[in-house]
Structure 1
Amino acid sequence: MPRTTHRVGAVLLPLLLLVVAACSAGPSQRPAVAYHDGEQQIAPAPLPPRPAPVPPLGPPAEDSLSWEDCTDQTRAELGGLPPGMTFSCARLISTLDAPEAPTRGTARNALIRTGTGVPLVVLGDIGGEPGTTFAARLATQLPPDLLRTFSIIGMDRRGTGESEAADCVPPAQREAIVGFDPRATDRAALDRLLESVREASQECLLTLDERLQAYDTWRTASDLEELRLELGVPKLHAIGRGEAARLLTTYAERFPGSVGRMVLDGAPDPTRDAIGQLESQAQSAEQTFDVFAADCVSRGCPLGPDPRRVVGDLVERTRSAPLSAPGTTVGAGRVVQAVLLGLSDRNAWPSLADALAAANRGDGAGLAAISAPLVSAQGINPPWLDGDLITSCNDTTLRVPPQRSGELAQDWVNRFPLFGGAFAQRVVWCGSWPVPQQPLPAPRRADLPPIPVISTANDPLMLSLGTDHMADQLPTGVLVRWQGAGHGALGRSRCVTDAVTRFLVAGTVPTEGMACPG
């Protein structure tokens, strides 16, 4: 009898373990079962998180930052200011948090402010002018209601402007990277670019040491939270243009309880990887150039009846015969970069056309001036390339082998003849760069307040479809379309600016999918 009992137990025990294992293998796909008065009832599935309401504006800042007047410096930098507009500047001290020394070290970010109302932080692209300059320039274009309600605050992101600028790429390598042949597709040529980038990365590693990998969007989001705390406000209200939209979505994922009224003015496509985003940028730049060319012809500009042919021929000639310019030369790479920068500002298109016409006559001074901020210091501001290179490579885990880079260059030069090569080269940039520990988070929180996302039909840096995807991917995104051209709509489109003003000042959410004329 005892023998039989043990045999039955030996059989039942594995069966019991199988049942327990099956019950604990993962979340059940069946509805939860509840019991009420002895009867089984199917419990309703949990509801998804509801969007948060539009946050209140909150009080003006009560900060302890040491602001000092910098109106004269700002006036000189912008070339003038509206009557009565003043600016003050300060420094934000936050934690560096380098991968080798988590939670340690300090980062120092330069700040600028105009106005005395509720803080509204304005952020621009890592590859463009410093954040303080961008915020000050945008402030001069904003309507009185916004300026009366808010204190506009700009911040130089890590490694840029006066925020402990990277400024570590040797001048020769900087010139080589920016001026590299935009139509190079063979392995030997791309290897020369890779060598320039490798030398740049080695020099930056020697110069910046542990700070190198701390210049990224993930840690800059912590700077924004530290800024909110220093300002003494419960929520961070902010505007992010272009690539800075990814900084704000990263902030929202890391600090959802701190999200105030936010606006994304153009945004990278969150549904595409780094290669896909660069490809879409090349496509958007080509599309915007066609709009520029049509506008140029309609104005009777000096590029004649076929601006694309003129500029294409100019790029081909300068591949082997760079243009002369004061203190430098302008090869094909600088020509393309100057056109890309010039397309970003719709108001500057006539000046861009004049510079291209002069270049076609052999004078590269105009294009050299447009592209100069990429490679040389402008006043107190260091070259833009360094911070762009470092942050871009720290933000992506993608590392592409040389063979694949050559295939991309060949494909994109064929499909996007003016800009494909320039964007394909950015894939090469990160080939020898340390791989970051984690990718940036995708925008996925459904419990955020409504966030207007502005899509510009012809933006040389942000394909409108990609910005549409951001509005779709962001659970609380509200799409606003502008049928205009240039990088960013706020301050350029009266319709968009009015809609954003109503949202920021009164909390009135734009109608989903509203369209503003060009």
Structure 2
Amino acid sequence: MAFSALAACSAGPSNRPVIAVHGGDEESAQAAAPTGPREIPPLDEYDRNALDWADCTDATRLRMGDTAPAGSSTYECARVNVRLDAPSRPGRGTLGIAVLRVGTGASPLVVVGDPGGEPGTLKAARLAASLPASVLSTFTLIGVDRRGTGKSDGVQCVPDLARVGIVESDPASETQDALLEDIGRASQECVLDLENRLTAVDSWRTAADLEQLRDKLGVAHLNALGVGDGSKVLTLYASRYPDRIGRMVFDGAPDPTLDSQGVAESRAVAAESTFEAFGKDCVVRSCPLGADATGRFTALLSKLRVKPLRGNDFDLTPGTATVAVLAGLADRAAWPALADALVAAEGGDGAKLGDLIRSYVVERDDNPPRLDAGLITGCNDTVVRIPPERVATITQDWRGKHPLFGAYFARQLLSCGPFPVPQPAKVPQLTSAPPIVVVTTSGDPVTPQSGSERAAQALPAGIAIGWQGAGHSAIPVSACATAAATEFLVNGTTPTSGTVCPP
């Protein structure tokens, strides 16, 4: 999930999404919004035949590649036509959104993820293999490839050389010129290629897509699981359609209180802390990195700085190695593989580290590169553009304060510079809502725990469940957090806010 972090950090916090288009549906939703405390809504049965579902089991397993979960789950896929609603053509145009369903439950549970992470359809397929059986008998998981990602008319506009150049860029470089040139190429080509679609790929409109999906499914409330940045989309949904909030769980949530620079630095701090936890885990497991994971990693970067390891699609440079490590840190289950990949790179084999980020850089297993959608969504979600001269100063400062990842996150602040600046939407204030469970993770390098806690506090009835583990997302990794979320979703049992789950 490294590029979900990259895009969000370069774009900064998105508590002011772009271009509010107030259609009749939204206005009526606001007029009907209740006031005061809200009860957890009942579960509704959905219309299983509302969409043109077709079996897509083999195609979905192909998209997941070698990491497809074991088991006999079957998947069905469909498409939903939603309003494109570009700023230049408000309320007009259409866009195809890909959805996948798995499970036998009568109620839908929509799964929304990070724009630069694994598409929501695949995330739902994986969750179905690991969530408690009661979830799959109560709900049908509906994974959504949010606009611009996966099979939802996915955006793929960044030139291959520019995409590779962005990822290969060395965070320790004394000059930003090459990175700025690649970002400029990306912006120029995406503006030309996507035209009206470019400025319509954002979280504000993704929230409206979910409302159209809810309506098509024929249910009164949207039940949903948001992972990382997907939680921000659900927060916007709750603000726009408060009377349609169902049972919602946020598994990690962006900090709504910090500016772009603050968000980037908080992620640098969290990534350093997570790498420290990774190093301690190595010692406990007697992993091949030994007792000095930090020293071995920094030595590898120095070695790659002198002689990169050549690859078929991209080279293993200090930049790609850094992004690969961030991707590995975000996936707790991948820590053993990350340690093995670092040792292999020390020996001259960069393929294993490269595999950790290949899906972000190149088209793979019938999925478009994830960098493009993450970059565009992040830049459309913020009006902030930080001048290169200022970024250079920040980079120098963070290089000293956060030696492993500070320079990397600082340089991501350049990413939105040449992209069009959106006009901020006026987000309706959410003053009343049923309980929403926010699961935080102490070692989350993508949505740091402190920011997720503040996201819970900003909700009218936010309930924070803290997992003391590490990685991006606690469900289903933490049995404790998963049990609390399951009880809330299935039985409407509200957990105690402030509950702490062990590592």
Same fold (TM over 0.5): yes
Number of the residue aligned with 1:347: 333
Alpha-carbon distance in 1 for matches of 2:49, 2:41 = 20
- The one-letter code of the counterpart of 2:337 is S
Aligned equivalent of 1:312, options 288, 298, 305? 298
The secondary structure found in structure 1 opposite 2:79 is strand
- Match status 1:500 vs 2:485: yes
The secondary structure found in structure 2 opposite 1:271 is coil
Number of the residue aligned with 1:6: none
Alpha-carbon distance in 2 for matches of 1:484, 1:462 = 13
The secondary structure found in structure 2 opposite 1:325 is coil
- Match status 1:167 vs 2:156: yes
Alpha-carbon distance in 2 for matches of 1:108, 1:350 = 38
1:385-400 matched pairs, under 5 angstroms: 385-400=371-386
Q: 1:418 to 1:61 in 2, by over 3 A?
A: farther
1:296-307 matched pairs, under 5 angstroms: 296-307=282-293
- The one-letter code of the counterpart of 1:70 is C
Number of the residue aligned with 2:57: 71
* 1:277-306 alpha-carbon deviations (Å, 9 max, x no partner): 111111111100000001012211111220
Alpha-carbon distance in 2 for matches of 1:417, 1:343 = 17
The secondary structure found in structure 2 opposite 1:342 is helix
Alpha-carbon distance in 1 for matches of 2:182, 2:391 = 15
The Cα shift of 1:178 comes to: 1.1
* 1:343-398 alpha-carbon deviations (Å, 9 max, x no partner): 11111111100000011112111111111111101121010100011000000010
- Match status 1:106 vs 2:91: no
The Cα shift of 1:403 comes to: 1.1
The Cα shift of 1:192 comes to: 2.3
Aligned equivalent of 1:89, options 41, 66, 77? 77
The Cα shift of 1:82 comes to: 4.5
Number of the residue aligned with 1:514: 499
- The one-letter code of the counterpart of 1:167 is Q
The secondary structure found in structure 1 opposite 2:423 is coil
Alpha-carbon distance in 1 for matches of 2:69, 2:360 = 25
- Is the 2:103–2:128 contact (alpha carbons within 8 Å) kept by the matching residues of 1? no
Alpha-carbon distance in 2 for matches of 1:100, 1:498 = 46
Number of the residue aligned with 2:453: 468
Indicate the percent of aligned positions where both proteins have the same amino acid. 49
1:396-407 matched pairs, under 5 angstroms: 396-407=382-393
- Is the 1:285–1:419 contact (alpha carbons within 8 Å) kept by the matching residues of 2? yes
* 1:119-139 alpha-carbon deviations (Å, 9 max, x no partner): 000111111111111111122
The secondary structure found in structure 1 opposite 2:98 is strand
- Is the 2:190–2:198 contact (alpha carbons within 8 Å) kept by the matching residues of 1? yes
Number of the residue aligned with 2:138: 149
Q: 1:274 to 1:441 in 2, by over 3 A?
A: farther
- Is the 1:63–1:230 contact (alpha carbons within 8 Å) kept by the matching residues of 2? no
Instruction: Give me the TM-score of the superposition, normalised by structure 2.
Output: 0.90
The secondary structure found in structure 2 opposite 1:323 is coil
Alpha-carbon distance in 2 for matches of 1:344, 1:88 = 28
- The one-letter code of the counterpart of 2:487 is R
* 1:418-448 alpha-carbon deviations (Å, 9 max, x no partner): 2112211221001111111115748x42311
Alpha-carbon distance in 1 for matches of 2:320, 2:74 = 36
Number of the residue aligned with 2:250: 264
Q: 1:339 to 1:439 in 2, by over 3 A?
A: farther
Q: 1:81 to 1:309 in 2, by over 3 A?
A: closer
- Is the 1:395–1:440 contact (alpha carbons within 8 Å) kept by the matching residues of 2? no
- Match status 1:333 vs 2:322: no
Alpha-carbon distance in 1 for matches of 2:122, 2:46 = 23
Specify every segment of 5 or more residues in structure 1 that has no aligned partner in the other structure, as ranges.
1-47
The Cα shift of 1:266 comes to: 0.6
Alpha-carbon distance in 2 for matches of 1:327, 1:219 = 33
The Cα shift of 1:160 comes to: 1.0
Aligned equivalent of 1:453, options 430, 438, 446? 438
- Is the 1:62–1:232 contact (alpha carbons within 8 Å) kept by the matching residues of 2? no
- Is the 2:63–2:366 contact (alpha carbons within 8 Å) kept by the matching residues of 1? no
The secondary structure found in structure 2 opposite 1:482 is strand
Number of the residue aligned with 1:418: 404
Alpha-carbon distance in 1 for matches of 2:267, 2:176 = 20
* 1:4-23 alpha-carbon deviations (Å, 9 max, x no partner): xxxxxxxxxxxxxxxxxxxx
Number of the residue aligned with 2:217: 231
The Cα shift of 1:84 comes to: 3.5
Alpha-carbon distance in 1 for matches of 2:421, 2:203 = 14
- The one-letter code of the counterpart of 1:141 is S
Number of the residue aligned with 2:177: 191
Count how many residue pairs are aligned between Structure 1 and Structure 2: 467
The secondary structure found in structure 2 opposite 1:230 is helix
* 1:187-246 alpha-carbon deviations (Å, 9 max, x no partner): xx2132122111111100111011100000001111000000110110000000111111
* 1:14-47 alpha-carbon deviations (Å, 9 max, x no partner): xxxxxxxxxxxxxxxxxxxxxxxxxxxxxxxxxx
Specify every segment of 5 or more residues in structure 2 that has no aligned partner in the other structure, as ranges.
1-33
- The one-letter code of the counterpart of 1:455 is T
Number of the residue aligned with 2:6: none
Alpha-carbon distance in 2 for matches of 1:429, 1:207 = 18
Instruction: Give me the TM-score of the superposition, normalised by structure 1.
Output: 0.88
- Is the 1:405–1:424 contact (alpha carbons within 8 Å) kept by the matching residues of 2? yes
The Cα shift of 1:53 comes to: 0.4
Alpha-carbon distance in 1 for matches of 2:394, 2:49 = 49
- The one-letter code of the counterpart of 1:261 is R
Alpha-carbon distance in 1 for matches of 2:228, 2:426 = 16
Q: 1:270 to 1:440 in 2, by over 3 A?
A: farther
The secondary structure found in structure 2 opposite 1:330 is coil
- The one-letter code of the counterpart of 2:45 is P
Alpha-carbon distance in 1 for matches of 2:118, 2:395 = 27
- Is the 1:178–1:374 contact (alpha carbons within 8 Å) kept by the matching residues of 2? no
The Cα shift of 1:90 comes to: 0.4
Alpha-carbon distance in 2 for matches of 1:406, 1:267 = 28
- RMSD in angstroms over aligned alpha carbons? 1.5
Aligned equivalent of 1:181, options 156, 167, 170? 170
Alpha-carbon distance in 2 for matches of 1:390, 1:328 = 22
Alpha-carbon distance in 1 for matches of 2:317, 2:350 = 9
- Match status 1:481 vs 2:469: no
Alpha-carbon distance in 1 for matches of 2:55, 2:345 = 41
- Match status 1:367 vs 2:353: yes
- The one-letter code of the counterpart of 1:173 is A
Alpha-carbon distance in 1 for matches of 2:95, 2:139 = 26
- Is the 2:438–2:462 contact (alpha carbons within 8 Å) kept by the matching residues of 1? yes
Alpha-carbon distance in 2 for matches of 1:180, 1:278 = 18
- The one-letter code of the counterpart of 2:471 is G
* 1:493-513 alpha-carbon deviations (Å, 9 max, x no partner): 111111101000110011010
Q: Which has the higher contact order (CA 8 A, sep 6+)?
A: 2
The Cα shift of 1:63 comes to: 4.5
